[in-house]
Chain A
């Protein structure tokens, strides 16, 4: 990876070159260096497997420049270049940006404003320096813990699992470290702005096919010590959870009272809600909250925010990928929609949209301001990409509650129903705006009877067909504490409570 000093030095040199071009009204230079290292796990007791299937990494360095022409300030072009931080490459990119320029009547210019505070040294994660050995060792520790926990199962073996010749143990998942550094300068800034971050994400799934059981465990964090601690327990915990969920029941389809655990809440928020909480979605008339800005959209006990500087958050962003200081964005406050994630372009676009009154709705305050605090250029896996355009993305997404109760009280509130610990393949089946979703209950789930966890639920036997209103508008009860949760493929980290919903439709998935 390039150092911050290299990125800053290049940004200054590129800015000098661009400043000399007389036909440019304004310009921006954005540099990013990113690395994603993944130790992918694959252990299968009855199929030859590698254990550490791959230890791989993806590296991407480059820059993107954006120019606006003096002859028409709405004439804007962009170009990017990988790997080559030289004056020649700046000139080549400038040629391509000129060639690509279009007159976009809605181009609002480039961001401006003060740079925000500089980070203290202690804010930097030591994962910025972690070597391959530590990541590989962590992955093997996960496997060691998982295989050892399964080998020790005979001590508490009510299903005779220890006597099964082909138990069908599967350990999958990965230990990943994502690091990135950026430098950005535009002609409105006084100086080059920089940021860097590093975090790990470890996720383990254990399936024991002979017992029709599945358990998961995961961790997010910012330090090598936290990664090592997690590695020592995640494999063990995933297997123990799977063993505790053996031979689950397969209930009949119908409408149920359901506790949705933190992972399902995170997954529903990720796929069904967050995309609707952007200025881009409101402008496109595709938000599930179309016409409801300023109105109640969730139960008043629920509040939702995105916080790039969350103390316990795994994702740290000091500035956005547009150079704007990253700050907390209140999205939903006591059930009311009060804010949106936005990049600079979409914030302006919605504010100047001639149909914004209809798109935002009658409860929108007369004086509107959508601060561009969420403009990130992210690639697959969540690292910052040099060649991506700014989108609107969250960082640490936090759901807090008023009047929340302990998780045991959620189960009690349900009475007779289902505890859903993990869902899978959650998609907006009728489009984002409709709010309808479907998914399968894939593991970590239980039957609830008489207000107590009664027995395991067989994985993958139920499909949820519901609407986001069923989950968030009138819950039976809400949990008091946010728990960390990750969603596969999502760049955000989630900190969310469990929620007890009064009526969720569950359809049967036939056993194979």
Chain B
């Protein structure tokens, strides 16, 4: 037995035995061309408080895995099958763990083999009408073997649950002290340690560990007839120290949890008393701050740069991409934005979306999406890279151990320019300043968006004036990017804890952001 206190030891067991398990499985079944196993252990502590009173606390430790099998059928058509499961403490028993993995590998194999056969039948039956049913060969790659540790000052496993209860309760009490204008507030804090391992039949064995700590605050403020709901999160790939002490990182600083919650609640109180935006008709000059631009970079750059989305694989759920109409008709190498604007994804940065290898064992690297206004690249997986004729860039990630990897953002952001934000605002004769993102809504290929801001200020003669609430920025995406005429030097990344994608939904952490930008857009109130 691995030991009740040592669920993480299952990772070490699989590091020793996992390749053998996969190899024996592949030899025992006809037609297996590839198989992979991903296994993850998570230790998590959390606390929550509502209205200045304790609400909840938890300590959990779990284990989960996903297996994937590719099988070539009799006519060389390849079928694909996967299975994922949460197995928890069963992972402490090697014999049970191995039996479980074998059973599920067999299940995935049967699915893949059945699928290969049905595909061959359909092609035989429909002939040229089913021309799309050909799969780009996934090139072989060099095998990778690596082991990456987590970074933290305070190991999440060493904390007492009382610390999580206290930090959330203290923050909630400070918010409650702001008075009756705060009609409702909820604060949550969590810290966790994740360790994962990826093994495939091509010889790759990669293990990685991460610490995550996150604080969330939801506030409803009421002042007179006005109200404001605000929600925001802070998070780092660190231990609880980033919430208890704050974090002074250059790209993604945050105050301590209590200060963060008080700031959010104070703002909500101020907004509840502010008028609803009544914008003018037509386009106006809009300056957007880094927090607002986090959602722009997320929704209008990041998602349509995901190759699976661009290749129409998400068309039934999350739509397509304005960057690719077809393999022959797409924006690669074409101007999609002002020459002042560049955007990229970079998992190597110390943000909430940091990692070294993706969940196919491919090293992650910086991917330029927009390079001085020219569209230059997609995030991809091994399979989507093969379709695009590109190198895999390590962007296939799953949110939990039991899920299939999808193409996901890491740290996706607009690159900074040289202009101080104060100068960007000072140059505006009349316009608006949108600060802090709220809710997005984008069109099917992300070619149009409406994103609400937490605060919108009027700018008159270079001065920030009146504050409004319930204001949104609406624009056609290419027009907005093309009209960018100032890019700030104040790059910030914002932790995004809840990006949803896939069927079933996978909720993933990442970071997005950018500097202050100035462009043109329409505004909307209610």
Contacts and interface: CB of A to CB of B under 8 A. Distances in A.
A169 B130 CA distance: 11
Interface centre among A82, A147, A432 (most CB of B within 10 A): A82
A509 interface: yes
B340 interface: no
B443 A440 contact: yes
Q: Which 7 A-B pairs have the closest CB atoms?
A: A82-B88, A172-B316, A84-B89, A102-B54, A83-B88, A381-B504, A205-B316
Given A50-B78, A140-B115, A172-B317, 12 more contacts: A46-B326, A50-B133, A58-B504, A82-B62, A82-B87, A100-B59, A132-B107, A136-B114, A174-B316, A286-B229, A425-B442, A430-B439
30 contacts: A46-B132, A48-B134, A48-B387, A51-B115, A54-B82, A55-B82, A58-B85, A58-B402, A59-B85, A78-B58, A99-B59, A102-B54, A102-B165, A132-B111, A140-B118, A150-B129, A172-B317, A207-B320, A209-B326, A290-B227, A389-B56, A427-B440, A429-B441, A434-B526, A436-B526, A438-B441, A440-B442, A509-B447, A510-B476, A512-B445
A173 B313 CA distance: 9
B135 A50 contact: yes
A440 B449 CA distance: 10
B383 to A, nearest CB: 8
B86 A82 contact: yes
B479 interface: yes
B300 to A, nearest CB: 12
B119 A140 contact: yes
Contacts of B327: 46-47
Contact of B326 (A47, A105, A132): A47
B368 interface: no
Given A58-B85, A509-B476, A427 B387 contact: no
B28 interface: no
A424 B452 contact: no
A228 interface: no
A78 B59 CA distance: 9
Interface string B205-247: 0000000000000001010000111000000000000000000
A59 B314 contact: no
B122 A92 contact: no
Interface string A350-393: 00000100000000000000000000000011000001010000
Chain B interface mostly: mixed
Interface stretch (A190-198, A304-312, A405-413, A459-467): A459-467
Interface centre among A38, A50, A170, A355 (most CB of B within 10 A): A50
Interface of B: 4, 47, 53-60, 62-64, 78-91, 107, 110-112, 114-115, 118-119, 121-122, 125-126, 129-136, 160-161, 165, 183-184, 186, 220, 222, 227-229, 311-317, 319-320, 322, 325-328, 387, 402-404, 438-445, 447-448, 450, 452, 469-470, 472, 474, 476, 478-479, 500, 503-507, 524, 526
Interface string A5-48: 00000000000000000000000000000001010111111111
Contacts of B86: 59-62, 82-83
A56 B87 CA distance: 17
A53 B80 contact: yes
Interface residues of A, number: 106
A89 interface: yes
A47 B472 CA distance: 37
B114 A132 contact: yes
A150 B129 CA distance: 8
Nearest to A98: B161
A489 B498 CA distance: 14
B84 A58 contact: yes
Given A173-B316, A438-B441, A52 B54 contact: no
Contacts of A105: 53
Contacts of B60: 79-80, 96, 387
A36 B315 CA distance: 21
B343 to A, nearest CB: 18
Interface centre among A424, A438, A463 (most CB of B within 10 A): A438
